[in-house]
Structure formats: C-alpha cells, structure tokens
Amino acid sequence: MSATLLKVKGLKVAYGGIQAVKGADFEVHEGELVSLIGSNGAGKTTTMKAITGTLPLNAGDIEYLGKSIAGQGPWDLVQQGLAMVPEGRGVFTRMSIIENLQMGAYIRTDTSGIADDIEKMFTIFPRLRERKDQLAGTLSGGEQQMLAMGRALMSRPKVLLLDEPSMGLSPLMVDKIFEVVRDVYAQGVTVLLVEQNARRALAIANRGYVMESGIITMKGLGKDLLEDPKVRAAYLGE
C-alpha cells in the first residue's frame, strides 16, 4: 500500500462556540483522490480549516508525512506541500489574474519554473489566459474558482485540499471544475476533496468518507459508497 500522507486522528474542533468536529478519523494515501462528503453543517469545512492551520484543535492530532502538524500555520504547511483551495475561493480581488498566480508561488524562487507553471495554468484554464490582466474581483464565480485552483497549484503541492469547489457554480462550470480535479489527480497530485455534490465527488474518488454531525460514519471505495443504499438515500436523493 502507498504511504500515508495525511492522517487525522480523533480530531475535535469547536467553531463559533459549537463542537463542530467530535472525533473524526481518516487518512489520505499518496496518489489517492479521497472525497469527504456530508450534508451542510456536518463539519467538513471545519475539518479542512483544522488541517490547514486556520482553526485550532481541541483534541486529537493531524499528521502529515508521519509528523504532527497540529498548531502549524498555513504558511508553514504550504512550504511543506499542503495547499488548500478554500470554500468561497478567497482570490485577491484587487490583483490581476497573473498577480494571483504569482502569489501562489510566493514560497518559490525558481523564476523560470514559475513562468513555466503560469503558462501551464493557462493551458489548463484557457479562460484565465484570455483575461490574464483583468482584476480577479471582476471574474465570474466559476472563473474565480479556476483561479483559486491555479493559484494553489502554483506552489507545486504534494496534497491539494479542495473545499466545496463546485458550490454556487453553473452545471457547465461544475463539469469543467471536476474535469480539472481529475486532470490534476492524473498528473500525480494527491487530492482531498470536500464536496456537497456527493454523486460527482464519489464518482471520481478512489476512496470516500461520510461525515455526519462531526464524526465519520462510513468509509469505503468511492464506487462502493456510490452504490450504498444509505448513501443513495441520504445524499443522492434516491
């Protein structure tokens, strides 16, 4: 079995005075695309914020490459190869597309490599090339999502964390975003995907976890969870 890159053990996190995560356990192995699904308010985004150092842990631990990263800030984690595309995208609205992409590479010093990777992002997201000097705040939601993903990839992450990438997007743009997630994964980036669109998330996942009320209640291969009657009834509207 491939190495475990990310391991969440007994994670408890409070958010806004509420115990949002109540003892979650899951892991992501090298070369996997893992989907974490669950209804709104299940604790998925809080879990992602804890992993990336933007929310403190109440209990438990998070290991990355076999070492605890609990208490480390986002800056340290990006340098170690963990990059996140947050819910709501979080692009720098008053900066241009090209400046946003350059910001994604702030930990790097290889100028020619950065230029090559910006070109690569424009190949993955042709729409960004057309608008490269446009301010990010003037882009559509889908274009901002593409930019947020491109910016995260500029750090050349080992693990890409995606929090609700399809939220609020048109069906056509959702198709494009999932296509890009598949492509990024095919290029060797390990992906942890948090997504309310359970059908789409499980369809592309090697493995999946179901989170309910702050704990993991089910786990299995993506294709098996997709066929599970409980998952189908709760998340696929069947």
Q: Is the pLDDT of residue 68 over 70?
A: yes
Antiparallel, parallel or unpaired: β 67-68 and 190-194: unpaired
Number of residues in the chain: 238
- CATH code of the domain containing 126: 3.40.50.300
Task: Name which residue leads in pLDDT, 75 or 102.
Answer: 102
Q: What residue ranges in 105-189 does DSSP mark as E strands? A: 159-163
Structure tokens at 121: 């992002």
Residue 140: HSE in the Cβ half-sphere, 13 Å Cα cutoff: 9
Q: What residue ranges in 38-151 does DSSP mark as E strands? A: 59-64, 67-68, 82-85
Q: Is the pLDDT of residue 1 over 80?
A: no
Residue 236's pLDDT is 80
Instruction: Tell me the average pLDDT of the chain.
Output: 93
> Model's pTM, two decimal places?
0.93
| Predicted confidence (pLDDT) per residue in 84-121, tens digit | 998 877 899 999 999 999 999 998 999 999 999 999 99
Residue 238's pLDDT is 59
Give me the amino acid identity at 98.
I
| Predicted confidence (pLDDT) per residue in 154-173, tens digit | 999 999 999 999 988 999 99
Residue 15's pLDDT is 81
| Predicted confidence (pLDDT) per residue in 42-65, tens digit | 999 999 999 999 999 999 999 999
| Predicted confidence (pLDDT) per residue in 172-226, tens digit | 999 999 999 999 999 899 999 999 899 999 999 999 999 999 999 999 999 999 9
Q: Looking at the 3D structure of the chain, how many domains does it have?
A: 1
| Residues of the domain holding 63 | 4-235
Contact criterion met (CB below 8 Å) for 100 and 144:
no
